[in-house]
Amino acid sequence: MAGGGFVDSSEALKRAHLYEYKITGYFIFSCIVGALGGSLFGYDLGVSGGVTSMDDFLIKFFPDVYERKHAHLQETDYCKYDDQMLTLFTSSLYFAALVSTFGASSLTKNKGRRASIIAGSISFFVGAVLNAAAQNITMLILGRILLGVGIGFGNQAVPLYLSEMAPAKVRGAVNQLFQLTTCLGVLIANLVNYGTEKLHPWGWRLSLGLATVPAVVMFLGGLLCPETPNSLVEQGKMVEARKVLERVRGTPKVDAEFQDLVDASAAAQAIKNPFQNLLLRKNRPQVIIGAVAIPAFQQLTGNNSILFYAPVIFQTLGFGSGASLYSSVITSIALVLATLISMFYVDKFGRRAFFLEAGAEMFFCMIATAIVLALAFGKGKELPFGVGIFLVIVIFLFVLAYGRSWGPLGWLVPSELFPLEIRSAAQSIVVCVNMIFTAIVAQLFLASLCHLKYGIFLLFGGLIFLMSCFVYFLLPETKQVPMDEIFHLFENHWFWKKIVADPKQEKGPEQL
């Protein structure tokens, strides 16, 4: 091993070809159960928008919004739900998640990925109970904060868990189990909302309270799943790490992969301050792409605004309460279908192809939505039926594109970019940036819809174009590349090689 703990490039690439694995029942069980942590994030994404569109919920907590919702004044066409306390109900969760992820980083590194999964499930359970029993806005927001802590821990640990458990050749598909369970959580939440909306006056309590179910499932998953071999090596449990690696790979012939884990861990142990080492020149491309750009761009696509507020959007555009929730179920189905498409083909066609192809589709969907609203909506009139159906189809296609690109790949690509010595710290930054932009978009979307009107969709279209350019020029292809060799991609990239210092010469943060 040379160069501050880095394995020589030719030696590492040669050893990667010696990796052996079989897809075993134990491996499948571990990944499926571990991925259930995504259901927390998904259920909350789906349930929030539905609950905030329910009359009983609005009457109890936001009576002013309820009155505007049923008004027919022209100036409220785009502004019926523009209430900062209402959006704080959604965004407070994500502000809490971005703070809690730093605590999750320490727990994930020192006690393992499972420990963060278990801690997150407990906090989410308590938050769900508090929300269901809420009698005032204070209880509501406090419950949302606890839910956010749970999501911060879960989103920090689960993508790492899946990427570390998976062989390099199928890592893309396995990692996207997180996105699949997230999407299924969104779908289930919308189906729950569609049913509970008819239960007056307490249906919204049932929707929020049922969040305890994915929390319990995630808790049991954390107890039943093995720790990742990477984490066990990091904790110095070499014998146990070897046994788990042999079991999940389905073969005792794991010498090459295990030695790479040991070498990577040795490099990691030499790092006393992983957050400080994120700033080293050799790590800058990964940090810029994986910890900043991709998690920010994932939210700036506008998709989560649609997921948060799909019922609100459809009601704002003239759909009835039941019809709006039904339309939300349709978009959730699109998300699940898209994730399955991505799981089956992302390791074949690669990350870049999905980003760019779906990005073009998302761009045209946003432009089409803006044009339709500019021509057919506003001035106190509801959308014609045909135009409404067209909008549902366009949003369906948009979500279908997002669900096979920025949705799953926004978690997959960052989780596979970083070397072991900074992986937990980097994942905390990933989650933090993601939650910052999630919270900002959640807090500002309804106000932006009110003031920019159809222009908000033109804004998202422009952002999608810019992020597609970023991917085209600056993101190297990572499919089927072992995680501890990905840094070589940046040494040979046309742009990043100018920034990356020789790791054999870089000793510490003082040489930035």
In 377-454, which ranges are continuous DSSP H helix?
385-403, 406-417, 420-452
Distance (Å, whole) CA 171 – CA 483: 9
Report CA 507 to chain centroid distance, whole Å. Answer: 34
- Calculate the CA dihedral of residues 259, 246, 216, 416 and round it to 10 degrees: 40
* Nearest alpha-carbon partner for 412 in 461, 347, 492: 347
Residues 6 or more apart whose Cβ sits within 8 Å of residue 386: none
Reduce the DSSP state of residue 198 to 3 states and report it. Answer: coil
Q: How many CA atoms lie within 13 A of 227 on its CB side?
A: 25
pTM, rounded to two decimals: 0.74
In degrees, rounded to 5, the angle at the alpha carbon of residue 226 between the alpha carbons of residues 485 and 115 is: 90
* Nearest alpha-carbon partner for 177 in 152, 158, 196: 158
Distance (Å, whole) CA 213 – CA 3: 48
At 93-151, the pLDDT tens digits run 888 988 888 788 888 888 889 999 999 999 999 999 999 999 999 999 999 999 999 98
pLDDT tens digit at each of 512 positions of the chain: 333 333 343 444 445 566 778 888 888 888 888 888 788 888 887 788 778 878 899 999 988 888 877 765 444 456 766 677 777 777 788 889 888 887 888 888 888 899 999 999 999 999 999 999 999 999 999 999 999 999 889 888 888 898 888 887 888 888 888 888 888 888 898 889 888 988 989 999 999 999 999 899 889 888 888 999 989 998 889 999 999 999 988 889 888 888 888 887 887 777 767 777 888 888 899 999 999 999 999 989 988 667 655 665 666 656 666 666 677 777 788 888 998 998 888 888 889 999 999 999 999 999 998 898 888 776 656 667 777 778 878 888 998 999 899 988 988 898 888 887 788 788 888 888 888 888 788 778 777 877 888 888 899 999 999 999 999 999 999 888 877 778 888 888 899 988 886 645 555 544 44
- Calculate the CA dihedral of residues 57, 61, 62, 67 and round it to 10 degrees: 60
Residues paired with 381 in a beta bridge: 378
